[in-house]
Structure 1
Amino acid sequence: MKQGPSSEDDCFSLLKQFEHVLESDPLIDEVGFIHPSQFTMLDKEAGFSNEFQPNNGTSSKFWNQDHKLGISTDILVQLCKDAKHVFLLALQEYKSHGNACDESQIKNISCSPCIPESDVMKHSQSVLLLSSDFGTAWNARKLILSKKDHLSAFTEELRLSGLILSNSPKSESTWSHRRWIIKMISQSFSTLQEIITKESELVESIGERSKMNYRAWHHRCWLVSYMTIEQVIQELNKSKRWAGLHVADSSCFHYRRVRAAYSVDVIVV
């Protein structure tokens, strides 16, 4: 009896299943790793019988219901390994083709169609959902996004990193990437204040589930410089109540000190 993927075809078939689940439900807002024994319980809670299970028979590996995605822990190592392998191949080909295009432009020679950058984005998404601190994948996404001029590309990146934070709320690489995205938006678009408000609400939501999350609250402190004085005062009022309900979480008190200092500086100036 097989104990998991035993051939290269099986491995990449599993990766294709994973990426198919992600593509088929673009509204997934939470991801987690679950033990295989929990799949039956989840199916029963969702009202599925033995004759009918979600995800077209792949429920022993992936569970997707109500925009919540569960990944079986017994496939994580192999799935992550294959996702990284496919991603690095796509990135290598993308970069080599880019260099060829540069040389062709110098020589005024037409260039063959570029490997879709969507391949790099798709495979890097898979890698980061499994290994959130894989810096090469984040850098590849920055490389491609830096050439974009549509707000939707950056808001979609915020959505993806928010999904990653649902399972890795203390991932410094993910929080750092969000700050890079916000900087890009601030340089080219006028919807920054709305995004900053949602960003602050995200940190508060994550703070409810991930106690003493210094990285999340540090990110919220970083947002101060992008806020109006009215937003700062509103944040002080909201965080006062939150701090009263979470007296053991010192991160919020540090956040309030930063807010108060910033508001005083602005008023004095």
Structure 2
Amino acid sequence: MSTRENSYTEAEALNLLAQLERILDLDPLIDEVGFIHPSQFATLKEEIGDSLSSEDRDHESTSFWIRDHKLGISTQILIPVYKAAKHAFISALRQYKTPGNFSGKSQDDTLAIEVMIHSKALLLLSCDFATAWNSRKLIVSNKRLLPILMDELHLSALVLSYSPKSEQAWSHRRWVINMISRNCSTLQWIIERESELVEKIAERSKMNYRAWNHRCWLVSFMTREQVLDELKKSRNWSGLHVADNSCFHYRR
């Protein structure tokens, strides 16, 4: 652990967390997250987009990088921001779950939003934080709105962009799809996109049995035509990736 990682004050860590959460709020279409060594920021500085204000851009050049819906986070700030996010999340969740702590529905909604905001930041820093995933399930299950469920698919895909073998993220996607399947006319379209996501991730992450197991699970939601199409796609894919046995497991 570097000296700089230990030198952030609590206020500085909270400020960095606020910046991260603001970036995520300003660009809801971010589809990829990565972690960048501080030495790389000088090279990337010229490529920084205009999605943030000029006031934030100087700090972004040393802590965050965002361009074309791709987010880079400095490895130097991971530990202090993680600690700040964890503390903020646990505090918000405790308030949300405390009986009699609400003055009304609006207060309940406010606390739920705080839990969702902090848990999102936390999961982008620590993808297997089960309590954060479970808190999102709790809140989403109380609302059961399709846009919120689609947001959960987007978040888990974002996590998988940097941790493609995260069992928690794959499990969360299955939970969301089960929720959607109860009342959704566009389920087959979602299943098709889900299968495409698995193939995309499998291209980047070799021998990813978690991804292919997820695709196996999707078969139960597919029509006969979709299953036949999957067999054709997987045959072509296995022909191009003969050393990746995970695809053969899927075909069985």
Q: Give me the TM-score of the superposition, normalised by structure 1.
A: 0.85
Report which of the two structures shows the higher radius of gyration computed on alpha carbons: 1
The answer to whether the Cα contact below 8 Å between 1:30 and 1:68 also exists between their aligned partners in 2 is yes
Q: Secondary structure at the match of 2:34?
A: strand
| Shift, 1:54, TM fit | 9.7
> How far, CA to CA, are the matches of 1:12 and 1:43 in structure 2?
24
Q: 1:107 aligns to what?
A: none
> How far, CA to CA, are the matches of 1:92 and 1:21 in structure 2?
25
> How far, CA to CA, are the matches of 2:101 and 2:94 in structure 1?
14
> How far, CA to CA, are the matches of 2:4 and 2:160 in structure 1?
31
| Structural mapping, 1:36-47, within 5 Å | 36-44=38-46, 46=47
> How far, CA to CA, are the matches of 1:122 and 1:163 in structure 2?
15
Counterpart of 1:29 (choices 8, 31, 47) is: 31
Amino acid at match of 1:100: G
Q: Identity over the aligned pairs, expressed in percent?
A: 58
Q: 1:141 aligns to what?
A: 136
Amino acid at match of 1:237: K
Q: 2:88 aligns to what?
A: 86
Deviation per CA, 1:67-111, whole angstroms, max 9, x where unpaired?
Answer: 110000011111111100100000000111xx2179x9xxxxx78
Q: Secondary structure at the match of 1:33?
A: strand
> How far, CA to CA, are the matches of 1:111 and 1:119 in structure 2?
14
| Shift, 1:113, TM fit | 3.1
The answer to whether the Cα contact below 8 Å between 2:34 and 2:71 also exists between their aligned partners in 1 is yes
Q: 1:206 aligns to what?
A: 201
The answer to whether the Cα contact below 8 Å between 2:167 and 2:210 also exists between their aligned partners in 1 is yes
Q: Secondary structure at the match of 2:19?
A: helix
Q: 1:73 aligns to what?
A: 75
Residue 113 (str. 1) matches residue 114 (str. 2)? no
Amino acid at match of 1:217: W
Q: Kindly tell me: are residues 17 and 112 of structure 1, through their superposed partners in 2, closer, same or farther at Cα, counting changes over 3 Å?
A: closer
Q: How many residues align?
A: 244
| Shift, 1:112, TM fit | 8.0
Q: 2:182 aligns to what?
A: 187
Q: Kindly tell me: are residues 55 and 246 of structure 1, through their superposed partners in 2, closer, same or farther at Cα, counting changes over 3 Å?
A: farther
Counterpart of 1:237 (choices 221, 232, 236) is: 232
> How far, CA to CA, are the matches of 2:137 and 2:20 in structure 1?
23
Q: Which ranges of structure 2 fall in alignment gaps of 5 or more residues?
A: none
> How far, CA to CA, are the matches of 1:25 and 1:55 in structure 2?
14
Q: 2:154 aligns to what?
A: 159
Could you list the runs of 4 or more consecutive aligned residues of structure 1 that deviate by over 4 angstroms after TM superposition?
Answer: 52-55
The answer to whether the Cα contact below 8 Å between 2:144 and 2:179 also exists between their aligned partners in 1 is no
Q: 1:100 aligns to what?
A: 100
| Shift, 1:47, TM fit | 7.5
| Shift, 1:164, TM fit | 0.7
Q: Give me the TM-score of the superposition, normalised by structure 2.
A: 0.91
Q: Kindly tell me: are residues 145 and 112 of structure 1, through their superposed partners in 2, closer, same or farther at Cα, counting changes over 3 Å?
A: closer
> How far, CA to CA, are the matches of 1:176 and 1:67 in structure 2?
25
> How far, CA to CA, are the matches of 1:92 and 1:195 in structure 2?
34
Structure with bigger RCO (C-alpha 8 Å, 6+ apart):
2
Structure showing the higher helix proportion among its residues: 2
Q: Kindly tell me: are residues 112 and 202 of structure 1, through their superposed partners in 2, closer, same or farther at Cα, counting changes over 3 Å?
A: closer
Q: 2:14 aligns to what?
A: 12
Q: Kindly tell me: are residues 111 and 155 of structure 1, through their superposed partners in 2, closer, same or farther at Cα, counting changes over 3 Å?
A: closer
Q: Secondary structure at the match of 2:128?
A: coil
Q: Kindly tell me: are residues 25 and 112 of structure 1, through their superposed partners in 2, closer, same or farther at Cα, counting changes over 3 Å?
A: closer
Q: 2:213 aligns to what?
A: 218
Q: Secondary structure at the match of 1:201?
A: helix
